[in-house]
Amino acid sequence: MSAVRPVDAASLILIDDRERAPKILMGKRHHALKFMPSKYVFPGGRLDPSDRRASAFGALDHQVEAKLCSRVTRASPARARALALAALRETYEETGILIGEPELGDYTAPQDSGWMKFESEKIWPSLDGLEFVARAITPPRYPRRYDTRFFLCRAEKIIKQIDGHAGPDKELTAL
């Protein structure tokens, strides 16, 4: 039996280093989930087709883009951009945290996508300041595999946090 092919995914390491002791955002996964139940993780998840169509403010740093495109098949700047956007979208979906730029005018999200809250809040997801820090691929022995890119973002980029995204009946039960 051949190994399951890993699915593209992205996670965001959100760091608040404005005080003496830095803080990092992690969440505890629900115990009933099939992949990594009850584990503490950074917010993130699989690449969604809407991530390729979503508009954004700014662009990835050229070095970040180059790192995302190195040593991968199907490398492209568009794929690198979509992965970074996936990290921002998944962070909102799992934590309620919107990272972006306000007051740039109306934001139009891809229809029926995880980007709709960005549109209603008039927040443009921002690629400025995202750093690529790591890549991890789930080992072949697992039935679900992900090729995850980890991005670092500073807490200063948080525009808004909407409550109700973590809880006993959610994907992340605690932040």
pLDDT in tens, 34-57: 888 888 999 999 999 999 999 999
**pLDDT tens digits for range 20-32:** 999 999 999 999 8
pLDDT of residue 105: 80
Q: Supply the pTM of this predicted model.
A: 0.92
d(CA 36, CA 39): 6
d(CA 115, CA 124): 10
Residue 1 pLDDT exceeds 70:
no
The CATH classification number of 7-16+40-164 equals 3.90.79.10
d(CA 91, CA 85): 10
Q: Which two tokens stand for residue 164?
A: 């109700």
